[in-house]
């Protein structure tokens, strides 16, 4: 498959905000972007899916709790089970946790404040589909903007995530939300499904973001799709 | 028809910054002697008689609460 032949879908829920930037990031990485509609139980043959940031269904009940029942998510869960790469950013991370594709849950920031700033992250693991372009230990500057980004899971779950190398990113230079063990992003057992609170799609062009450090996530997945 | 109340509370070991903020605001208003506040949610459901307890438990466990961080309790009340 050529890079441009790789089709990466981006879901739009009612209340999604970052679907436009996610699609732009996909194009900037060299792949083709495909819009996916929340009410449409069809992935239209895409090779990977991005669940973008925003406030799906108004964040009612809990962040991501209603989105997980959207018709498109049933298909995402099924495709993820078959190994399709899936990335959840911010609200998308919350949706993937609620849907059971990733362990744990994102809760109200410990300081109660909505935090919007450029944040340093450290790459913990580069073997997942979405992080192969990074060097382990590399530090990235990527925007965060969330009110409920404190990653919580029981200690045995956290121990297993760390022991299996499934923590992808940690916050450095200050934990913005009280996340357990400074966790900013994780992946599933196969390294195909990833979720993180920071917004790599907002850091793909130095003209509009702090860096282009986020582009590597999209290029990483594209490498896998092209090699397949 | 019956009224069912589902209470959802953050687990005791889970940090509850909203409850803490409420607790911290009480002394500023002159209310003393309240050492802890935990903030949760209460759902009121109007339920047909044919809906059994097992169904209500599944609604609470799988949807109204996230059992990773929250406990829940279902009770039927007089409507």
Residue B9's pLDDT is 97
A175 touches chain B (CB under 8 A): no
Domain count across chain B: 1
B37 touches chain A (CB under 8 A): no
| Alpha helices (H) in B10-65, listed in sequence order | 17-28, 53-59
Taking the CA of residue A106 and the nearest CA in chain B, the distance in Å comes to 9
Six-digit token string for B54? 């097992």
Domain layout of chain A by residue ranges: 7-227
Please name every residue paired with A9 in a beta bridge, in sequence order, or none if there are none: A34, A49
Six-digit token string for A65? 């709790």
Q: Which domain holds residue B68?
A: 2-77
Residue A26 half-sphere exposure, CB side, CA atoms within 13 Å?
28
Q: Which of A63, A90, A98, A202 is catalytic?
A: A90
Of residues A156, A152, A194, the one with CA closest to residue A175: A152
pLDDT in tens, A140-156: 999 999 999 999 999 99
Residue burial A128-154, b: 16+ Cβ < 10 Å; e: rest: bbbbbbbeeeeebbbbbbbbbbbbbbe
pLDDT in tens, A189-209: 999 999 999 999 999 999 999
DSSP SS3 for B7:
strand
Euclidean distance between CA atoms A205 and A143, whole angstroms: 12
B17 touches chain A (CB under 8 A): yes
Six-digit token string for A54? 């925003």
State yes or no: is A116 an active-site residue: no
B55 touches chain A (CB under 8 A): no
In CATH, what number is assigned to the domain containing residue B59? 3.30.1280.10
Six-digit token string for A21? 């930037």
Q: What is the ipTM for the molecules in this complex?
A: 0.84
| Alpha helices (H) in A14-168, listed in sequence order | 19-29, 71-81, 91-98, 155-163
pLDDT in tens, A36-57: 999 999 999 999 999 999 999 9
Of B21, B63, B69, the CB nearest to A107: B69
B-chain residue closest to A66, CA distance: B63
Q: A7-227 is classed in which CATH architecture?
A: 3-Layer(aba) Sandwich (3.40)
Six-digit token string for A35? 């819009």
Is residue A3's pLDDT more than 90?
Answer: no
């Amino acid at each position: 498959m050529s890079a441009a032949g790789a089709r990466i879908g981006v879901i739009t829920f009612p209340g999604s905000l970052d679907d436009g930037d996610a699609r732009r990031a996909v194009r900037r990485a060299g792949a083709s972007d495909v819009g996916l509609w929340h009410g449409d139980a069809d992935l239209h043959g895409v090779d990977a899916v991005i669940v973008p940031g925003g406030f799906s269904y108004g964040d009612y009940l809990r962040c991501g709790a209603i989105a997980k029942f959207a018709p498109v998510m049933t298909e995402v869960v099924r495709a993820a089970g078959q190994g399709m790469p899936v990335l959840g950013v911010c609200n998308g991370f919350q949706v993937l946790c609620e849907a059971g594709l990733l362990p744990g849950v994102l809760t109200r920031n410990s300081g109660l404040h909505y935090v919007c700033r450029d944040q340093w992250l450290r790459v913990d693991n580069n073997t997942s589909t979405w992080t192969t372009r990074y060097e382990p230990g590399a530090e990235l500057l990527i925007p965060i903007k969330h009110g409920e980004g404190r990653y919580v899971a029981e200690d045995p779950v956290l121990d297993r995530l760390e022991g299996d190398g499934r923590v992808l990113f940690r916050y450095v230079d200050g934990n913005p939300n009280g996340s357990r063990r400074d966790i900013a992003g994780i992946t599933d057992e196969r390294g195909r499904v990833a979720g993180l609170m920071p917004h790599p799609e907002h850091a793909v062009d130095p003209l509009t973001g702090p860096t282009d450090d986020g582009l590597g996530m999209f290029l990483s997945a594209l490498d896998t799709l092209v090699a397949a | 028809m019956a009224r069912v109340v589902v209470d959802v509370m953050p687990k005791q070991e889970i940090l509850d910054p909203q409850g803490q903020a409420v607790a911290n605001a009480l002394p500023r208003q002159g209310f003393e002697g309240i050492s802890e506040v935990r903030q949760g949610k209460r759902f009121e459901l109007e339920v047909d008689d044919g809906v059994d307890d097992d169904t209500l438990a599944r609604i609470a466990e799988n949807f109204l609460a996230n059992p990773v961080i929250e406990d829940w309790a279902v009770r039927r009340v007089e409507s």
